């Protein structure tokens, strides 16, 4: 089904539920949900919404709205963005951060966030799928990954004996390789006694 038809059908469905709902608070939630879908449509974000839903179905890592090679590049983007996201993930040097913005005070910040580490821990808990490719060096893996014409949302690869998650963020056309060892480092940090 085309994404426009999907959104229209969902809004119609919410409207039918709204008609049979007694609670004023629940009616307001339903209107807000319908408004959110109509906002996506009205602002031309229907395909991004479709990609978001697909990434959820694939159980891929959280989507990001931007990726930066350096902290300085990220800070410049945030300082010069007239309307940054209120809350969204970005990658800074391929590490997840939450970009936070409060319109009322113009407060802007990047907050490190362990969403990727938690995702990798969950993957490891269930046992890693077999690697789709094996490489001797990171350079070989990067050349292979960046040479893909049709990238999967994620793949497990092996580089020099270490496992990596190769992630393609279609919404920003960005590829990143994340070593599974970062999940192990995260576990160790959580276990340290408070000082």
What is the per-residue DSSP string for 14-33? Answer: HHHHHHT---HHHHHHHHHH
> Does residue 92 carry a pLDDT above 90?
yes
d(CA 144, CA 132): 12
Give the residue-averaged pLDDT of 100-117.
94
What rounded mean pLDDT belongs to the chain? 90
What is the pTM (predicted TM-score) of this model?
Answer: 0.80
d(CA 38, CA 21): 21
> Does residue 20 carry a pLDDT above 70?
yes
> Does residue 173 carry a pLDDT above 50?
yes
> Does residue 78 carry a pLDDT above 50?
yes
Angle at 190 between CA 189 and CA 194, to 5 degrees: 90
- Point out the least confidently predicted range of 31-45, 57-71, 149-163, 180-194: 180-194
Confidence of residue 170 (pLDDT cuts 50, 70, 90): confident
Residue 84, pLDDT score? 94
Residue 195, pLDDT score? 45
């Amino acid at each position: 089904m085309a994404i426009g038809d999907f959104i229209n059908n969902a809004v119609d469905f919410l409207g039918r539920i709204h008609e049979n709902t007694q609670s004023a608070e629940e009616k307001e939630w339903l209107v807000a949900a319908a408004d959110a879908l109509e906002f996506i449509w009205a602002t031309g974000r229907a395909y991004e919404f479709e990609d978001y839903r697909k990434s959820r179905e694939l159980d891929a890592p959280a989507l990001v709205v931007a990726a930066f090679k350096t902290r300085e590049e990220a800070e410049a983007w945030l300082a010069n963005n007239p309307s940054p996201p209120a809350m969204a993930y970005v990658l800074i040097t391929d590490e997840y951060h939450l970009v936070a913005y409060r319109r009322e005070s113009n407060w802007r910040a990047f907050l490190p966030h362990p969403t990727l580490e938690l995702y990798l821990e969950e993957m490891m808990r269930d046992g890693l799928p077999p690697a789709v490719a094996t490489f001797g060096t990171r350079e070989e893996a990067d050349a292979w990954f960046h040479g893909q014409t049709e990238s999967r949302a994620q793949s497990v690869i092996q580089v020099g004996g270490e496992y990596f998650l190769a992630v393609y963020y279609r919404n920003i056309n960005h590829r990143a390789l994340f070593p599974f060892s970062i999940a192990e480092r995260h576990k160790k940090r959580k276990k340290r006694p408070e000082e």
